[in-house]
Amino acid sequence: LQDRLPPFSQAEAEAAVAQSLEKPVLQAFASFGPSVAAASIAQVHRARIAGTGEDVAVKVLRPGIERAFRRDIDAFYLAASLIERTLPSTRRLRPTDVIAHFEGVVLGELDLRLETAAAAEFAANTESDEGFRVPRPVWHLSARRMMTLGWAEGVPLGDNAAIDALGVDRTELGERVLTLFLKHALRDGYFHADMHQGNLRLPRTG
Q: Give the whole-angstrom CA distance, residue 51 versus residue 20.
A: 19
**Which among 72, 74, 169, 194 is annotated as catalytic?**
194
Q: Give the whole-angstrom CA distance, residue 62 versus residue 38.
A: 9
Q: Do 143 and 112 contact (CB within 8 A), yes or no?
A: yes
Q: Give the whole-angstrom CA distance, residue 76 versus residue 3.
A: 26
β strands within 126-172, DSSP E: 146-150, 155-156
C-beta neighbour count of 180 within 10 angstroms: 17
Question: Is 194 an active-site residue?
Answer: yes
Angle, helices 170-188 vs 112-125, to 10°: value is 100
**Active-site residues: which are they?**
194
